[in-house]
């Protein structure tokens, strides 16, 4: 969440930054938060004055009784009781206003980085790399939607997935399942040089899901297990971010880098009938995430590195792609700056987002309470702590990369050539055939 202190120290600057998000309701919430913060401070001052007066009266009463002035002592005691009642009321109001302010702050988005391009929606997102490896025209056999090719090959069986689990679930079979697994292993291997692999839980607490910004705002998109106060993760970013929640890290430990494969669960509320065919949008899918905890000074370079890693993963698969920067009006709630890698799928005739790489500044770390202690020039720890900055990226999200491979690598006879880079992960499979079976390298 945003730093509450800015409501009193730099409200104008915060207002200017959040105005760039092009949603007037955000400014209304910000102004309301500032009023609540002001009232909270007034309550605190009055409550503390009451407490101080009660303590002073207690001492005066003792002195009066020692002097035998019972009437004056009883008069002061009556005042003390009245003040005590007032203090109790102020304490209750303090808790009420504090809770309302906290709830409001949870919904106010992060301030965009100054370098984020201005814009009102995704239509204003500029392309900063590419398009790369696209063609002026695509042959007819590559213009076939992946769900038609995959069903003909017997590698996608969404009809039975729906029978088993309901609408918007998918099921890969045979070489399709192998391809999905291969992509996950490729995504991990591509980042193993610098990122520690984690197998994090797929179910997390309410506090953990709140730390990354999914709650309370996006509760309708999450799967809840209410009986146990657990939630199915929408991405491995959620548990990875909170590994060091409520901890203070040493300066020389940063940056810390993690990667994780996990299933991802999203209810996709309101998405019925929109991009739901094939593998484009589903309630459950596989994903590899990379995440970093860093100092504010380390974060900008890390963002570039992580973006380059996501771009390189797609480029090495020889898929047509581009990189766009997310404008202010399209930024996610927690995002300070963000880039998307998109692949072109000729069968769907669309650019598909396959990776989002984002810098969250200290927005998530403030919720999760992840701090670090700086050191002086001699390496000695300094007093006080600072919040870390968090960064996250999709190293490899399976569904749309899977779909793009099926469409871009489709041959005229309906078969699909396996990208050379993935063949070692697929037991040497070179081509997925429509009828006669797979061809394997000798």
**pLDDT (tens digit per residue) in 328-367:** 999 999 999 999 999 999 999 999 999 999 999 999 999 9
**pLDDT at position 437:** 47
Nearest alpha-carbon partner for 27 in 36, 38, 18: 18
CA torsion angle 69 74 80 86 (round to 10):
-150
Per-residue tokens: 441: 């390298």
For residues 296 and 254, what is the distance between their CA atoms, to the nearest angstrom? Answer: 10
Q: Is the peptide bond before 65 cis (omega within 30 degrees of 0)?
A: no
Q: Are the beta carbons of 432 and 178 closer than 8 angstroms?
A: no
**pLDDT at position 440:** 56
108 three-class SS? coil
Nearest alpha-carbon partner for 399 in 222, 179, 197: 179
295 three-class SS? coil
**pLDDT at position 59:** 85
Per-residue tokens: 276: 């739901």
Summarize pLDDT for 154-184 with one digit per residue, the tens.
999 999 999 999 999 999 999 999 999 999 9
**pLDDT at position 421:** 97
Nearest alpha-carbon partner for 107 in 44, 42, 21, 39: 21
User: Phi and psi for 429 in degrees, rounded to 5?
Assistant: -60, 125
Q: How many CB atoms lie within 10 A of CB 118?
A: 12
CA torsion angle 281 286 287 288 (round to 10):
-170
Q: Is the peptide bond before 327 cis (omega within 30 degrees of 0)?
A: no
Give me the sign of the Cα torsion angle 394, 395, 398, 400.
positive
Burial class of residue 17, CB neighbours in 10 A (0-12, 13-18, 19+): buried
Place of tokens 């109790």: 88
Checking if the pLDDT of 442 tops 50, the result is no
Mean pLDDT, residues 203-227: 91
For residues 409 and 419, what is the distance between their CA atoms, to the nearest angstrom? Answer: 8
For residues 35 and 153, what is the distance between their CA atoms, to the nearest angstrom? Answer: 62
Per-residue tokens: 263: 């299933």
Mean pLDDT, residues 236-248: 96
**pLDDT at position 108:** 96
Per-residue tokens: 221: 């998109």
Summarize pLDDT for 305-323 with one digit per residue, the tens.
999 999 999 999 999 999 9
Checking if the pLDDT of 425 tops 50, the result is yes
**pLDDT at position 61:** 84
**pLDDT at position 270:** 52
| Arithmetic mean of pLDDT over the chain | 93
CA torsion angle 44 45 48 50 (round to 10):
-110
Q: Are the beta carbons of 319 and 335 closer than 8 angstroms?
A: no
Mean pLDDT, residues 417-437: 88
For residues 87 and 66, what is the distance between their CA atoms, to the nearest angstrom? Answer: 27
Report all structural domains of the chain as residue ranges with CATH numbers, in order of start. Answer: 6-107 (1.10.287.40), 122-440 (3.30.930.10)
Bigger pLDDT: 253 vs 270 = 253
**pLDDT at position 436:** 45
For residues 166 and 43, what is the distance between their CA atoms, to the nearest angstrom? Answer: 52
Place of tokens 């106060």: 229
Which band of pLDDT confidence, cut at 50, 70 and 90, is reported for residue 273? low
Which band of pLDDT confidence, cut at 50, 70 and 90, is reported for residue 277? confident
Which band of pLDDT confidence, cut at 50, 70 and 90, is reported for residue 435? low
Mean pLDDT, residues 233-245: 96
Which band of pLDDT confidence, cut at 50, 70 and 90, is reported for residue 79? confident
Checking if the pLDDT of 271 tops 90, the result is no
């Amino acid at each position: 969440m945003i730093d509450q202190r800015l409501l009193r120290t730099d409200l104008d600057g915060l207002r200017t930054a959040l105005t760039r998000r092009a949603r007037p309701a955000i400014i209304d919430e910000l102004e309301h938060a500032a009023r609540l913060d002001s009232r909270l401070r007034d309550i605190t001052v009055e409550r503390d004055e009451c407490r101080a007066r009660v303590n002073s009266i207690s001492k005066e009463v003792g002195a009066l009784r020692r002097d035998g002035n019972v009437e004056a002592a009883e008069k002061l005691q009556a005042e003390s009781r009245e003040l005590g009642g007032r203090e109790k009321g102020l304490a209750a109001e303090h808790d009420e206003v504090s809770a309302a302010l906290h709830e409001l702050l949870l919904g106010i988005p992060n301030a965009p980085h100054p370098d984020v391009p201005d814009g009102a929606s995704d239509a204003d997102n500029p392309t900063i790399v590419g398009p790369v490896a696209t063609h002026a025209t695509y042959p007819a056999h590559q213009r076939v939607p992946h769900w038609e090719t995959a069903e003909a090959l017997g590698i996608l069986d969404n009809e039975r997935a729906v029978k088993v689990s309901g609408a918007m679930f998918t099921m890969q079979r045979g070489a399709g399942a192998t391809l999905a697994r291969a992509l996950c292993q490729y995504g991990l291997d591509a980042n193993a040089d610098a990122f520690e692999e984690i197998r994090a839980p797929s179910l997390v607490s309410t506090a953990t899901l709140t730390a990354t910004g999914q709650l309370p705002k996006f509760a309708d998109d999450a799967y809840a297990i209410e009986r146990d106060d657990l939630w199915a993760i929408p991405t491995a970013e959620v548990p990875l971010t909170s590994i060091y929640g409520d901890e203070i890290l040493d300066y020389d430990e940063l940056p810390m880098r993690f990667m994780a494969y996990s299933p991802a669960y999203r209810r996709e509320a309101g998405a019925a009938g929109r991009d739901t065919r094939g593998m484009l949008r589903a309630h459950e899918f596989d994903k590899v995430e990379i995440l970093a905890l860093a100092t504010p000074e380390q974060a900008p370079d890390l963002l570039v590195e992580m973006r380059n890693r996501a771009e390189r993963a797609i480029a090495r698969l020889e898929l047509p792609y581009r990189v766009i920067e997310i404008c202010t009006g399209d930024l996610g709630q927690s995002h300070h700056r963000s880039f998307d890698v998109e692949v072109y799928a000729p069968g769907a005739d669309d650019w598909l987002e396959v990776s989002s790489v984002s810098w969250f500044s200290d927005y998530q770390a403030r919720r999760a309470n992840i701090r670090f202690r700086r050191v002086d020039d001699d390496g000695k720890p300094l007093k006080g702590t600072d919040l870390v900055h968090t960064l996250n990226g999709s190293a490899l999200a399976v569904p749309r990369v899977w779909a793009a491979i099926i469409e871009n690598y489709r041959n005229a006879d309906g078969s699909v050539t396996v990208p050379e880079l993935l063949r070692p992960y697929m037991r040497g499979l070179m081509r997925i055939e429509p009828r006669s079976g797979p061809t394997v390298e000798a």
